[in-house]
A and B are shown apart, each in its own frame.
Chain A
Amino acid sequence: MPVLTPYPGKRVAVLELDAVSKEYLTDSVRVQALRDVSLRVEPGEFVAIVGRSGCGKSTLLNLAGAMDFPTAGDVRIDGESTRLAGDGALTRLRRKKIGFVFQSFQLLASLSAVENVELPLLLAGVSGARRIAMDRLRWVEMDALHARLPHQMSGGEMQRVAIARALVHNPRLLLADEPTGNLDTATSTSILRLLQRIVECGDTSVLMATHSAEAAAAAGKIVRMRDGRTEP
């Protein structure tokens, strides 16, 4: 079985959230999504954020994925602060260091499995994208179905392809938002096993948001959230 390439370089925290707060304005109403949250994810660590719907899990993942800016505090991804970065810098950061896995798989319906996987590499202008994509598909045991379109695959197969896509550029941090939310128990177990293998095989860390205690149990560290705060 192929092994993920270990990430070279010095071992700094993959993700650091330092007293981060996030406030939204929705229809003129202020919503405090995160309040003074601090969190540290080390290389090779599998962390689960657990909490009810609306507790701030997804907001935390968005900040961790350089998709959004904190209202207060600082977010550092592999040592790089997102606070002062512009859109271009954040895009580059995502391309190099972040991979996303979503609850509803989010595969592009018009692209085949391998085309979905190679997409982040193509967007980043990396050469040899097809070869790397096939390599990642092999790693998630989906290489045989590489030519299939999303609607020709099951939920578990789609999530495997989504994980292969999230790993295709060898990211430092994989962010998974309810990755088993749309799957049955047996398929969920195999997906969680896959996430565990990611941290076992390389330097990639996994930060998973879930409301399921069973899913959280697969992680090495569990952080509980309520009303936008982490609980000790």
Chain B
Amino acid sequence: MGRLFFRLILRPLLRDPVRAALTTLAIALGVAVVLAIEMAGDAAAGSFRSSVESLTGDADFEISAPGGVPGEVAASLLRLPEPLEVRPRMESFAEVPESGRVVPFLGVDMVASAPGSSPSGSLGLTSLEDGDAIWLGRAFHRRKGERISLLVDDRVVGFTVAGVLSEQRGEAAVVDLSTADRLLGRHGLLDRILVRVPRTRSLNAWEAFLRRAIPSGLTLEPQGARTRENRRMLEAFRWNLRVLSYIALVVGAFLIYNTISVSVVRRRAEIGIVRAVGAGRAAVLGAFLGEAAVFGLCGSLLGTALGRLMAQGAVRLVGATVQSLYVSSTPAPVMLSANVLVFGLAVGIAISIAAAWLPAWEAAHVAPVEAMARGRVDYQARVHWLRNLLWAGALGVAAYLACLMPPVAGKPFFGYLGALLLIGAMALAIPAMVTLLTARSGRWMARIAGPEAMLAGRGLLSSLRRTSVLTAALATAIAMVIAVGIMVGSFRQTVALWMENQLQADLYLRPALTAAADRHPTLSAAIPDRIAALPEVEAVDRFRAYPISYQGLPATFAGGDTTISSRFGKVQFLGAADRKAIYARMRQGDFAVVSEPFANKHHVRAGDALSLSLAGRTARFEVLGIYYDYSSERGFIVVDRQTMLRYLPDPAPSNVAVYLKPGVSLDRGRAAVERACAGRQVMVFSNRTLREDAIRIFDRTFAITYALEGVAIVVAVMGIAGALLALVIDRRRELGLLRFLGASGTQARRLILFEAGLLGLFANLAGLCLGVALSLILIYVINRQSFGWTIQFHWPAALLSGGLALIFAATLLAGLYPARIAMRLNPIEVIHEE
């Protein structure tokens, strides 16, 4: 059996190495992309622990509260008659000015952490100094006694290296608690207290004990809870990325289907002969599925190696997105684990066999006599295009219904199903499209572009199944480019319009230390006071943000000056709520507005109440409205600044918006503001610069999606090249005959190029229709259910037309080599073969 498989299946593949290589490479690229995203996701997000989390050591519990935990709580825990290890911490970030890298900046109790004392192992401190001493991770490559400057909030501070954190290989800087308190202006408020309990009773019992021992407004969680929260938050992002990575594999599946179909067509007579001499249906089915499995195995092995390489690049892009939108983290090294390897092989082989099933099944069920019958050499699979069109309509309706369904466990499963059904509908509608476009167009095609165009059209029509599969493969890839292009373009435009409303101030200030979704460094409180007193300045809006946890998911609690917002702002609320009335009410007490992503994620509506634990006190805010916001996927709860200060009295703002007086030029105003910030590391942005920066970050965030689409297109174009090559080989008789009838070699070449062009045209047309439909699903179903953003539909016309033209050109290029082969065919030989 093995010998027969080699002789009848493998040997012919070896005789057609270019096509076999193209099919293998198509599968390899599909598998590579899936594995690369899987590995990059694991490195950047899956195995995610935020930079700060990675320094928590072996604690069992952590006590925290937005705005800080009073220092006395740590002291009271230490006074308990239990041998608890209590480690109070202040957590922030600092920037290394020379490199621009942002590193965790921690304040810990050095007395407790000093060598010899119990928790020293957790950080591995090797020395202790006084004053502005600092302990650095090994990655700093600094020695004890050296000086180092770090940017802390809006100040550059000099430190003396007191020692190296022996167990911390990454970049982290640790100072004494009192130093951190002074530099960060925490007034004794801690960010977290880590607690390690003895194993004398169960963790649940200890949790209950600790809960009784701390004030009620504080959050007590098992250690690692934040990591789990972050993982949950990143799930939607990873899901969508994963789904996107499967596109190239789906395109590859179309090509495997085509390859096996061609294989069946070519070996039709052989199938009849082996059936006649005793082979059963199962043997024929097994042979063709075996061929697909060989492609799958070779492609997967190659894809695994390629995927490992691609993951290196992907982790940078994924990491940048995680940083921009979610949380500060440093990607872990990319790991090719045994699990990933097995997964890659399984996916590649399984999808190849699944894609080959239909043609293999047909081959097994063709009657031997029919298979051996001479006459119609080109086996034309029967394609019932009208019936398929009806099925396409049914799938389209099913896709629409799927899109009306709600998310399942926060994931848009029905949205994905709708997208898959639409792809299926498109694949089924393509035979009808090709038939209608080519059946009656032969004469005018001949008139406009010569007989080669007419012959190309007829050629494609005569092998309708093959044409349809190729068109569907390329159209799927094109559709995804269009869909994601429209979605991203619409999102970009929506964000740009939103920024026009949101950013009304002339100047914006923030500390030089880079902010992120989970870190909000602060400016000295005196700065906005100084700016407000400037004669050039009309008003100053102070905005303070705190990272918090709400219902087990990270969120942001913030306070802004609603008087200023009411006077200058143009923030838009859902349902066209009265902005000024909302702001006026917010000033009266515990009222809040929430951003759209927050409302969608937590199912919050106007009138609902939010219960938050702030600095040890429980606060209850009534939601007055939901506003459009695209700055963070975590979601915002915003209260009036005075309300916030009642709970969290730290007046230092995270950023400041400055409104200049009428008639004051931007340059003059900026110069005055910069003078007021003298001595502090403050970034001053004009309105325009801020928008440009935001759009740059936006583009960086979506770079990975463009990269994934690019691979899908490459796979599809490779498939077209391979298929055209097969087509030239299968139709060499026809090409040879044309030479007998007076066609020149150039005309034979033009015929193949026209076929490539027509395939590209059909695929562009089908891809455009499907892409627009998929973009609606992406914008109104998948995005809304995954991230909760409202995106206004926009046509990125230039991007779409440019992309389609590029793909069309690539399809033509894919036809060049097969066309060259067609031109060089020896007509006498190919006619003689008959």
Contact residues of A with B, CB < 8 Å? Answer: 58, 62, 65, 67-68, 87-88, 91, 94-95, 100, 102, 104, 106, 108-111, 115, 119-120, 122-125, 151, 165, 169
Known: A122-B446, A123-B451, A151-B376. A165 touches B828 (CB 8 A): no
B376 touches A119 (CB 8 A): no
Which of the 9-residue segments B544-552, B657-665, B742-750 touches chain A? Answer: B742-750
CA distance A137 to B88 in the complex (A): 99
With A106-B737, A122-B446 known, 12 other A-B pairs at CB within 8 A are A91-B742, A102-B834, A106-B733, A106-B831, A106-B834, A108-B458, A110-B458, A111-B458, A119-B741, A122-B450, A125-B450, A151-B376
B741 touches A120 (CB 8 A): yes
Q: Which of B334-378 contact A (CB under 8 A)?
A: 375-376, 378
Least CB distance, B3 to chain A, in whole angstroms: 25
Known: A67-B828, A68-B828, A110-B461. A100 touches B834 (CB 8 A): no
B738 touches A123 (CB 8 A): yes
Q: How many residues of B contact A (CB 8 A)?
A: 30
CA distance A203 to B794 in the complex (A): 69
B458 touches A124 (CB 8 A): no
CA distance A88 to B738 in the complex (A): 14
The interface residues of chain B lying within 8 Å CB-to-CB of A169 are: 742
Closest to A103 in B: B834
CA distance A207 to B743 in the complex (A): 22
Q: Which of B734-771 contact A (CB under 8 A)?
A: 734, 737-745, 747
A87 touches B744 (CB 8 A): yes
29 A-B pairs in the complex with CB atoms less than 8 angstroms apart: A65-B740, A67-B827, A68-B828, A87-B744, A88-B744, A91-B739, A91-B742, A91-B743, A91-B745, A94-B740, A94-B742, A100-B740, A106-B737, A108-B458, A108-B734, A108-B737, A110-B459, A110-B462, A111-B455, A111-B458, A115-B458, A119-B451, A119-B455, A119-B738, A120-B742, A123-B741, A123-B743, A123-B747, A165-B741
B828 touches A95 (CB 8 A): no
The interface residues of chain A lying within 8 Å CB-to-CB of B828 are: 62, 67-68
The 6 closest A-B pairs by CB, nearest first: A122-B451, A110-B462, A95-B742, A110-B458, A91-B744, A120-B741
Closest to B447 in A: A122
Closest to A108 in B: B734
Q: Which of B437-495 contact A (CB under 8 A)?
A: 442, 446, 450-451, 454-455, 458-459, 461-462
| B212 on the A face (CB < 8 A) | no
Closest to B738 in A: A123
Picked from B454, B461, B832, the residue with its CB within 8 Å of the CB of A122 is B454
CA distance A58 to B740 in the complex (A): 13
Closest to A125 in B: B450
Q: Which of B158-212 contact A (CB under 8 A)?
A: none
Least CB distance, A6 to chain B, in whole angstroms: 22
Contact residues of B with A, CB < 8 Å? Answer: 375-376, 378, 442, 446, 450-451, 454-455, 458-459, 461-462, 733-734, 737-745, 747, 827-828, 831-832, 834
CA distance A209 to B196 in the complex (A): 100
CA distance A122 to B451 in the complex (A): 6
Least CB distance, B752 to chain A, in whole angstroms: 15
B834 touches A109 (CB 8 A): no
A109 touches B742 (CB 8 A): no
The interface residues of chain A lying within 8 Å CB-to-CB of B446 are: 122
CA distance A67 to B825 in the complex (A): 12
CA distance A135 to B834 in the complex (A): 30
CA distance A115 to B747 in the complex (A): 17
CA distance A68 to B831 in the complex (A): 13
CA distance A44 to B378 in the complex (A): 38
Known: A106-B831, A122-B446, A123-B747. A67 touches B737 (CB 8 A): no
CA distance A123 to B378 in the complex (A): 23
Closest to A67 in B: B828
CA distance A58 to B834 in the complex (A): 13
Least CB distance, A152 to chain B, in whole angstroms: 11
A115 touches B442 (CB 8 A): yes
CA distance A150 to B446 in the complex (A): 20
The interface residues of chain B lying within 8 Å CB-to-CB of A87 are: 744-745
The interface residues of chain B lying within 8 Å CB-to-CB of A108 are: 455, 458, 734, 737
Closest to A119 in B: B741
Picked from B462, B733, B740, B743, the residue with its CB within 8 Å of the CB of A67 is B740
Least CB distance, A73 to chain B, in whole angstroms: 18
The interface residues of chain A lying within 8 Å CB-to-CB of B742 are: 91, 94-95, 120, 123-124, 169
Closest to B374 in A: A104
The interface residues of chain A lying within 8 Å CB-to-CB of B450 are: 122, 125
CA distance A91 to B459 in the complex (A): 23
CA distance A169 to B378 in the complex (A): 28
Picked from A109, A111, A115, A122, the residue with its CB within 8 Å of the CB of B378 is A109
The interface residues of chain A lying within 8 Å CB-to-CB of B376 are: 109, 151
Least CB distance, A54 to chain B, in whole angstroms: 12
Least CB distance, B291 to chain A, in whole angstroms: 27
The interface residues of chain B lying within 8 Å CB-to-CB of A115 are: 442, 458
The interface residues of chain A lying within 8 Å CB-to-CB of B734 are: 108
CA distance A109 to B731 in the complex (A): 11
CA distance A152 to B458 in the complex (A): 17
Least CB distance, A177 to chain B, in whole angstroms: 9
The interface residues of chain A lying within 8 Å CB-to-CB of B832 are: 58
The interface residues of chain A lying within 8 Å CB-to-CB of B834 are: 102, 104, 106
CA distance A47 to B538 in the complex (A): 107
The interface residues of chain A lying within 8 Å CB-to-CB of B378 are: 109
Closest to B462 in A: A110
CA distance A114 to B760 in the complex (A): 29
CA distance A108 to B463 in the complex (A): 13
The interface residues of chain A lying within 8 Å CB-to-CB of B738 are: 119, 123
CA distance A169 to B744 in the complex (A): 16
Least CB distance, B545 to chain A, in whole angstroms: 68
B462 touches A109 (CB 8 A): yes
CA distance A67 to B442 in the complex (A): 28
CA distance A145 to B359 in the complex (A): 35
Closest to B378 in A: A109
CA distance A104 to B446 in the complex (A): 27
CA distance A216 to B742 in the complex (A): 27
CA distance A109 to B827 in the complex (A): 18
The interface residues of chain B lying within 8 Å CB-to-CB of A65 are: 740
The interface residues of chain B lying within 8 Å CB-to-CB of A88 are: 744
Closest to B375 in A: A151
CA distance A121 to B748 in the complex (A): 15
CA distance A18 to B831 in the complex (A): 26
Closest to A130 in B: B443
Closest to A58 in B: B832
Least CB distance, A59 to chain B, in whole angstroms: 9
CA distance A91 to B743 in the complex (A): 7
Closest to B460 in A: A110
CA distance A100 to B459 in the complex (A): 22
CA distance A68 to B829 in the complex (A): 11
The interface residues of chain A lying within 8 Å CB-to-CB of B442 are: 115
The interface residues of chain A lying within 8 Å CB-to-CB of B462 are: 109-110
CA distance A182 to B347 in the complex (A): 51
The interface residues of chain B lying within 8 Å CB-to-CB of A119 are: 451, 455, 738, 741
CA distance A87 to B831 in the complex (A): 18
Least CB distance, B536 to chain A, in whole angstroms: 78
CA distance A87 to B455 in the complex (A): 22
The interface residues of chain A lying within 8 Å CB-to-CB of B375 are: 151
Least CB distance, B82 to chain A, in whole angstroms: 88
Closest to A155 in B: B375
The interface residues of chain B lying within 8 Å CB-to-CB of A102 are: 831, 834
Least CB distance, A111 to chain B, in whole angstroms: 6
Closest to B446 in A: A122
The interface residues of chain A lying within 8 Å CB-to-CB of B741 are: 94, 100, 119-120, 123, 165
CA distance A102 to B827 in the complex (A): 13
Closest to A61 in B: B828
Least CB distance, A136 to chain B, in whole angstroms: 14
The interface residues of chain B lying within 8 Å CB-to-CB of A110 are: 455, 458-459, 461-462
Closest to A104 in B: B834
CA distance A95 to B740 in the complex (A): 9
